[in-house]
A and B are shown apart, each in its own frame.
Chain A
Amino acid sequence: MSDVPMNERKLVGKAVRRREDPRLLAGRGRFVDDIALPGMLHSQFVRSTVAHAELASVDVSAVREVPGVVAVFTAEDLQLGDIVAQLGRPLSEFVPTAMPILARDKVRYVGEPIAIVVARDAYAAEDGLEAAKVSYATLPPVMSEEAAFADGAPLVHVEAAHNTLVDVSLFATEGIDRIFDAAPCVVEVDARTGRQNALPLETRGAVAHWDDREEQLIVHTCTQIPHQVRTVASRCLRLDERAVRVVVPDMGGGFGQKCVVGREEIAAAAAALKLRRPVKWIEDRKDALSASFLAREQHYRARAAFDTEGRILALDADVVCDMGAYSCYPFTAGIEPLMASAEMPGVYKVPAYRVRGRAVTTNKAPTGPYRGVSRPQYVMVMERLFERAARELALDPVEIRRRNVITDFPYKGVNNITYDPGSYLESLNLCERLVKDEGWYEKQTAAAAEGRHIGIGYSCFSERTGYGSAAFAQRKMQVVPGFDISEVRMDTSGAVTFTTGTMNHGQSHETTMAQIVADELALDIGKVRLHQGDTDRITYGFGTFASRSITIGGSAVRLAAAKLGDKLRAIAASRWGVAPDEVELADGAARRRNTQDVLPYTEIADIAYLQAHLLPKDIEPGLSATATFDVFNDGTFSNATHACVVELHPGTGQVEILRYVCVEDCGVAINPQVVEGQCRGGIAQGIAGTLFEQVTYDAQGEPSATGFMDYKVPTAHEIPDVLIHHLETPCAFTETGAKGAGEGGTIGAPAAVLNAVNDALRPTGVELDHTPITPETVHRALNGAPSLESSS
C-alpha cells in the first residue's frame, strides 16, 4: 500500500456527490441509442422461431423489396469467423463449441439470429423481418437437465456427448465418504434456482461505422468489456486489431449481461463495414428477454455432515448449470459451474470437500455472467444446509453459524483458497443484534399467537473480489482477466485526466476513482477527470465485472497517480535544489517542508511542457505516468450478513418483506453512499430472483416471457427499504484498502429470503429449497398441501 495514511485523506471515505449525476439528471447523458451519425442505417435481426432445427433454407429475397430496406445479410453473405470461448482443459472436462455470428447450418434456441436486415429506420427494418422466409428441419428440443442427460438425447452440439460442455471435479478430499458414514448428523438439500435475466434497463445496442481517415471500424457499443469486444470483432472480421476502435458511451446498466461479446454487435459492425455506412442496432425488449444472455438456472444436490455440536465435518456437492445453447466469450460455459465448485465452502471452516460441477447445453438462450455468478445459488444452498442441520440438532440457526464461520485469518480453505481478514463473526453477531433490538423475535411470537406467519432468516457469506490473473488462471480460461492499467496525465492548467481499463455502467467510477486521484495528488476533485471506454485511449483493460474495478482498477489508478506525484515532487525539488523527500504535495502545489516555499502545479507543468530546458537531465519532459496493478494471491474477500423478516399471506401466498438488514464489510469504502447504493440495488436483484423473476419455456422451447407482463420485475411496491451497517476490515494488498462491493447484495439476498420463508413455514413442517418461491407454492404450503415443489 502507498504510504499516505488514511487519516490524511480528504475525499476517500466521504460521500462525495457523483460527478456523473448532473448530465444524467439533465437528460444530457449519451447512451448508445442517443448516437446519430449522418447517413446512419438501422438494423434488426431475423431470428429463429424454433428452438432446435437444421436450417433448410434462408430466403431473404423478399426482404430487399420491402420499402426502406437497404440490405440484408445472412451468414453466407458475411463469411465471418465464429466466436469460440476456450478453457485450457482436456476434452473430458471441457468441450469447446463455436458460436457463429449468424446461424449457419443449425439453430439452437428461439431468437437465435439468422440474418441482419438494414434499413433507413428501425420501423422499416422491422417491416423487413416479416418478409424473410426461413425453412426449418426441426429437431426435438432439449429443454431440461434431465432431457439433456437422457440416453439417446438429441445433441445440441454434435461434438458434446450427453450435452455436456463442462464436467470438472475440482476437489475430492480423501476419505470423505468415511466422514459421512461416521457422522452423527447428515443433511441434504436438493435445490433448483430459476433462469433469470440480468435485465439492464437499457437493452444491448451498437452503432458502427467505418472511418476512412483513420482506417478504422469504430464500434460504439454498450459493453462492460470494450477491449475484449475489440479483440473478437477484429478476429471475426479479420481486421488488424488496430483497425477496430470500441467506444463505450454512458451505459444503462449491465450486471454481467453486457460482459460477454454479443453476436449482434459484431453483425452490425460487419454490416457497417460492408455498406461503408453507419449501422445502428438497438435490441428491443422482446429480444432482450428471450434472445439475450440469461443466467442462474442451476441444480444442486448437496449434503453436509455435522458433529453433535453442529460443527461441519464435510461438504459434498453435485452442481449442474443449464448453460443454454452456447459458451459465452470470454468466460465459456464454465463460468457458473467453476465458480460454484471453487468457492462453495464460503465463510465456513469446512474440513472436507468434494464437488462435481457440470455445464449442460440446452435449446435455450445462452448463459452469461450475472451479478454474483453462482454465489447467490451456492450461498443459498450452504445456508439451507446449515438451517437444516440446526433443526436436526435443535440448535439456534445463528448459533450454528457462529460455531462454523472462519475467525482466524488468513485462513487456508479446503478449496485451496487463502481468505484474507474479514469480519464474518462480527457481522453475524451485529446483524442478529440489530434484528433483536428492533424486537422482531417478539413480534414473530406475537404474530404466531394471532395465527399469522412471520419468519426471520439469515445469510452469512463472503464474496471474493479482486480476482487477479492468478485466480483466473486457475480456472484455466484462455483469456485470463486480471491486471489493469491506468495512465494519469496533468496539463498546463494543473488539471488531471486519467484512464482506466474498467468500464463504469452505474458504479460511479467517475466519482470514486477521481476521489482516489484527487487525494493522491492533493487536488480539488473538480480538477480530476476520468476517461474510460475507448480502446484507442486506453492501452488495455478487462472491463468491469466480478467487483474488480475499485480493487484492481482503483489500485492501478492510485499507483499511477502516485508516480505522477513523485514526478511533481522531483521537478519541484530540482528547482529548490533539495532532495524530493523534502517536498510534499498539498492543495494543488508542491511545498518544501518546514519552509514557506510553494510551487503550484501550474508552474511545475509549465516547466515540464513549455520550459523543458529547465528540467534536470534525468527528468523527461511532460507530466504523465502509467501504472499497472494485478493481484497475485487469491484475491480479497468482502463479507456480509443479511437478515430478512417476512410475513406470508395465506389468502394470496404473497411473501411480504417486513424488514431487511445488511451488515457489510468491503474494507475501506471509497464512497460510503455509493457502497450503500450497490448494497441496496444488489439486494433488490437478489429478491427479484428469489420471489419474482423466472424465464421459462414450453416443451417446444418457446420462451414464455417476451415482455414485462410475463416477466415480473419488482417495483418499489415489492422491494423493501434496507437498513445498512458498515464494518471495515481494510484489505492489506489493494492500494486503497478497498475490497469489491458490487455483488454482495445480490449474493446474500436469496438465502436470507428463503430462510425467512422457511422459518415462517415452520409450523407447517414444509421446507422449500427452490427459487423463485411462487405465491402458489406458499399458498399451498400454508394450506396443507404435502408436495409443493415441482422438479423443474
Chain B
Amino acid sequence: MNTDPVATHADLQLVTLDVNGEQHDVITEPRRTLVDVLRHELRLTGTHVGCEHGICGACTVLVDERPVRACLMFAAQAEGTCIRTVESLSEDGGGELNDLQRAFTEHHALQCGFCTPGFLMLAEGFLAERPEATKEEIREVVASNLCRCTGYQTIVEAIDACATARRGACAQRCESKEH
C-alpha cells in the first residue's frame, strides 16, 4: 500500500519552505496561499490576514529580504526562498524586542496590534534596503499598508526614530574602527 500522501492525493503537494532559518516540509494543496500555510500549517500566527487581495498589507513578510504580501503568493511559489516573519524579529526568539519593535512601543505606534506585524516587516525590509531613508520616504512606504487605529503618524515616527538610531549606531561603529 502506498502511504505517501502526495502520491495518493493528486491535489496535494510537498512544499519545502525556509522560514526564519528553519526548514519545513509541508504537504498542502497547491492553491493554498503562503500566509495560510505560515499561519495554519506552521502555526506562525504572528502574520495576519486583513483583506486577502493584497491591499492592506497585514500579511507582509520578507521573501529574500524584500517585503511581500503573503496573501498574494502561493506557498509553492515560495520554495527556494528565505522567508522571514514577525516571529524572527525578537532577538532571542520571543523575549527581547528588537530596536524597531521597541520604537513602536515607545511611540505608541500600535493600538489593537493587528496590522503591526505587517508594518514591522515592511519597515524591516525597507530600512535594510534604504537605511538613509528620510521621514518623507518612510511616510511613502508606510502608505503601502493600512492601519485603522493610529492615524499613521506614530508609525512613521517610530520607523524614523529607529532608522535614525541605527544610522547613529552605524556611524559610531565606523568611527571606532577608524581609531
Q: Give the B-binding residues of A (Cβ under 8 A).
A: 15, 17-18, 20-22, 24-31, 33-34, 36, 121-123, 199-203, 250-253, 255, 284-285, 505-508, 673-674, 676-677, 680-681, 683-685, 707-709, 713, 715-717, 719, 721-722
Contact = CB atoms under 8 A, between A and B. Distances in A.
A27 B149 contact: no
Contacts of A33: 39, 45, 48-49
Interface stretch (B74-82, B110-118, B163-171): B110-118
A26 B101 CA distance: 8
Is chain A's interface secondary structure helix, strand, loop, or mixed overall? loop
A26 B90 contact: yes
A27 B46 contact: yes
Contact of B112 (A253, A715, A716): A253
A683 to B, nearest CB: 6
B150 interface: yes
Contact of B53 (A201, A251, A252, A285): A285
B143 A26 contact: no
A37 B154 CA distance: 36
Interface in B125-148: 139-140, 142-148
A22 to B, nearest CB: 6
B110 A25 contact: yes
A22 B45 CA distance: 15
Contact of A676 (B90, B108, B110, B120): B108
A708 B48 contact: no
B148 A253 contact: yes
Nearest to B153: A721
B47 to A, nearest CB: 7
Interface in B16-46: 29, 31-32, 36, 39-40, 43-46
A25 B142 contact: no
B106 interface: yes
A716 B156 contact: yes
B153 A673 contact: no
A677 B143 contact: no
B155 A716 contact: yes
A25 B120 contact: yes
Contacts of A676: 108
B151 A681 contact: yes
Nearest to A508: B111
A679 to B, nearest CB: 8
Contacts of A15: 108
B65 interface: no
A709 B55 contact: yes
B143 A716 contact: yes
A29 B51 CA distance: 19
B12 to A, nearest CB: 12
A25 B97 contact: yes
B86 A677 contact: no
20 contacts: A17-B106, A18-B105, A20-B113, A26-B46, A27-B44, A29-B46, A34-B45, A122-B36, A199-B148, A200-B112, A203-B50, A252-B115, A680-B153, A708-B51, A709-B53, A715-B143, A715-B144, A715-B152, A716-B140, A716-B155
Nearest to B139: A716
A273 to B, nearest CB: 24
B58 interface: yes
B53 A707 contact: yes
Contacts of A203: 50
B111 A707 contact: no
A18 B113 CA distance: 11
Contact of A123 (B32, B106, B108): B32
Given A707-B51, A717-B140, 5 more contacts: A24-B113, A24-B116, A26-B90, A713-B56, A715-B146
B112 A21 contact: no
A712 B96 CA distance: 37
B108 A252 contact: no
Given A18-B105, A26-B90, A707-B53, A685 B45 contact: no
A247 B108 CA distance: 27
Contacts of B49: 33
Contacts of B112: 200-202, 250-253, 505-506
Nearest to A124: B29
B39 A674 contact: no
A200 B114 CA distance: 9
A201 B154 contact: no
A121 B32 CA distance: 11
A707 B50 CA distance: 11
A719 B45 contact: no
A22 B113 contact: no
A788 to B, nearest CB: 29
B151 A719 contact: yes
A201 B113 CA distance: 10
A681 B148 contact: yes
Contacts of A122: 36
A707 B55 contact: yes
Contacts of B113: 20-21, 24-25, 29, 250, 252, 506
Nearest to A683: B151
A27 B87 contact: yes
Contacts of A250: 112-113
Contacts of B94: 26, 28
B48 A31 contact: yes
A197 to B, nearest CB: 10
A201 B151 contact: no
B85 interface: yes
B89 to A, nearest CB: 7
Contacts of A121: 40
B20 to A, nearest CB: 10
A283 to B, nearest CB: 11
What are the nearest 6 A-B pairs in CB distance?
A: A27-B46, A252-B114, A24-B113, A506-B112, A684-B151, A680-B151
Nearest to B145: A715
Given A202-B112, A716-B139, A677 B56 contact: no
